Amino acid sequence: MTIPNNKIYKVNSVRKNKNLKKDISPSVDIAHKLKVRAKEKENIRRKLAVTAKQLALVARENENARRKLVITAKKLALSASEKETARRSLAVTARELKRLHWTLEKKVLKRTKDLDQVRSKNEAILASIGDGLVVVDKEGKITYINKSFEEMLGWKSQEIIGKSMVEIVPREDVDGVEVQFKERILTQVLSGKKFVANLTNPFYYIRKDKSRFPVSSIIAPVVLASKIIGAVEVFRDITKEKEVDKAKTEFVSLASHQLRTPLSTVSWYSEMLLAGDVGDVTPEQKKYIEEIYRGNQRMVNLVNTLLDVSRIELGTFIVESKPTNIVKLVQGVIEEYRLQIREKRIHFSFSSEKSIPNIQVDPKILRMVVQNLLSNAIKYTPEGGRVFISLFAQKGNAVLFKIVDTGYGIPKNQQDKIFTKLFRADNVVGKDTEGTGLGLYIAKSIVEQSGGKIWFESSENKGTTFNVTLPLKRKNPKKA
């Protein structure tokens, strides 16, 4: 079978290709493997490069860490040195503190000993004071009493420390009426109120055995950091003083009674001579007799005043209370002084509410109060001054009598003494040499014994206002 040439060629070509593939295949595999290995090496190189960089970074970090460790080591060494220095310094300080502590302890012991001595000395002084002494806290509870307190009141320190002074030691007035808690001087002082002691109005303390004795007392607040933390009271038994005062009052009363007879005789004969009952007298003789008469009248007034004081203090003043029209009584007194008001050209006025009822009082002694107050207002007001009197009905069944003047006033530093017997303010002594200093004392005694109150407000060279309140009725009237 004959094969065409073209087919033979194709067959040969196929065979050649097959053979060529057989020859080329090993080379291709090698090249591929080399290529793969080359990639692997490149990858390894890259990894090595990365690792090298990482190792370099780690090396740098290690170097930094080493340097930090070196620095830390230096710091630790320095810190150790400083700690050693601090330790040594602390040791020195501890020794110094120990020395100072010992020195301070010695000083404290010495100071404590000194304070104990001072305290013992002060306690000995307080215990030796002849007057009674009591210290209270802010609540009025007793914190300290001295020996004189125990002796006068009969209480022992351990019995009353921590208890209320007001409850332990009651206070009574002259008539035996117990003073209420709010009206006690101690209560007022602890509450911060200003209180002026009234030495003309004695009071009584009640002992443990319920007996009583007259007392003169001074109470002062204890102030710390501008706050009242308590009070101190010093008091004494004035029984002997009252007995002496009573004896003097009785003597004055007796002497005054004895003086009234010759003074009345002088007054009577002077009036007869001036009236011409025993013959004519010359003008010059009449002038002398008038001087005798006026001088005698001043003495009569003084004796009558002294008698009034002695009767009030001895309790022998006869009181005859009855319904009294106070408006008419005041108007009557004003008329008595009308001439003096005109002579000094004083601008005078009187006003009264229409509905003022009668009050239960002795008109005789009430007239004395009004006379004393009006007389002082006229006497101590300069010419051309003003005097005003007014009457008001008050709530609570009382009447208010008010007298205002524009006179010399009362010096502030003497206002607490103005109701004291025989006291006269310095600014008026030279202006009126005939005053006795008894008028306001009598007025206050009468008003308070009538169940009323009297007080004043005054400024030097500006004038004075006296206020008097009187109850319409008294349940238990006292002897004047």
Q: Is the pLDDT of residue 449 over 70?
A: yes
Q: Is the pLDDT of residue 480 over 60?
A: no
User: Predicted confidence band at 464 (pLDDT cuts at 50, 70, 90)?
Assistant: very high
**Rounded percentage of the chain residues whose pLDDT exceeds 70:** 83
User: Predicted confidence band at 111 (pLDDT cuts at 50, 70, 90)?
Assistant: confident
Judge contact between 457 and 408, C-beta under 8 A.
no
Given this model, what pLDDT does residue 19 score?
54
User: Predicted confidence band at 474 (pLDDT cuts at 50, 70, 90)?
Assistant: low
Given this model, what pLDDT does residue 236 score?
86
Judge contact between 204 and 173, C-beta under 8 A.
yes
At the topology level, CATH places domain 322-471 in: Heat Shock Protein 90 (3.30.565)
Torsions phi, psi of 234, nearest 5? -120, 125
Residue 190 in tokens: 């602890």
Given this model, what pLDDT does residue 457 score?
92
Cα–Cα distance for residue pair 168/329, rounded to 1 Å: 46
Given this model, what pLDDT does residue 347 score?
94
Given this model, what pLDDT does residue 303 score?
74
Residue of higher predicted confidence among 115 and 204: 204
Least confident of 12-16, 34-38, 157-161, 293-297: 12-16
- The mean per-residue pLDDT over the stretch 428-432 comes to 71
Given this model, what pLDDT does residue 452 score?
87
For the CA atoms of 145, 151, 154, 157, the dihedral, rounded to the nearest 10 degrees, stands at 30
Average pLDDT in the chain: 81
Given this model, what pLDDT does residue 256 score?
67
User: Predicted confidence band at 93 (pLDDT cuts at 50, 70, 90)?
Assistant: confident
Question: What pTM does this model have?
Answer: 0.52
Given this model, what pLDDT does residue 478 score?
47
Residue of higher predicted confidence among 183 and 226: 226
Given this model, what pLDDT does residue 346 score?
92
Cα–Cα distance for residue pair 39/204, rounded to 1 Å: 128
**Rounded percentage of the chain residues whose pLDDT exceeds 90:** 16
Cα–Cα distance for residue pair 354/362, rounded to 1 Å: 22
- The mean per-residue pLDDT over the stretch 236-255 comes to 75
Given this model, what pLDDT does residue 479 score?
45
Q: Is the pLDDT of residue 108 over 70?
A: yes
The answer as to CATH 3.30.420.10 being correct for domain 132-237 is no
Given this model, what pLDDT does residue 320 score?
76
In degrees, to the nearest 5, what angle opens at C-alpha 238 toward C-alphas 420 and 426? 20
Given this model, what pLDDT does residue 155 score?
92
Given this model, what pLDDT does residue 477 score?
47
- The mean per-residue pLDDT over the stretch 26-36 comes to 77
Given this model, what pLDDT does residue 26 score?
61
Given this model, what pLDDT does residue 365 score?
83
User: Predicted confidence band at 127 (pLDDT cuts at 50, 70, 90)?
Assistant: low
- The mean per-residue pLDDT over the stretch 195-223 comes to 79
pLDDT digits (tens, 9 = 90+) for 377-397: 998 899 999 999 999 888 768
Q: Is the pLDDT of residue 348 over 90?
A: yes
Given this model, what pLDDT does residue 442 score?
83
- The mean per-residue pLDDT over the stretch 268-291 comes to 84
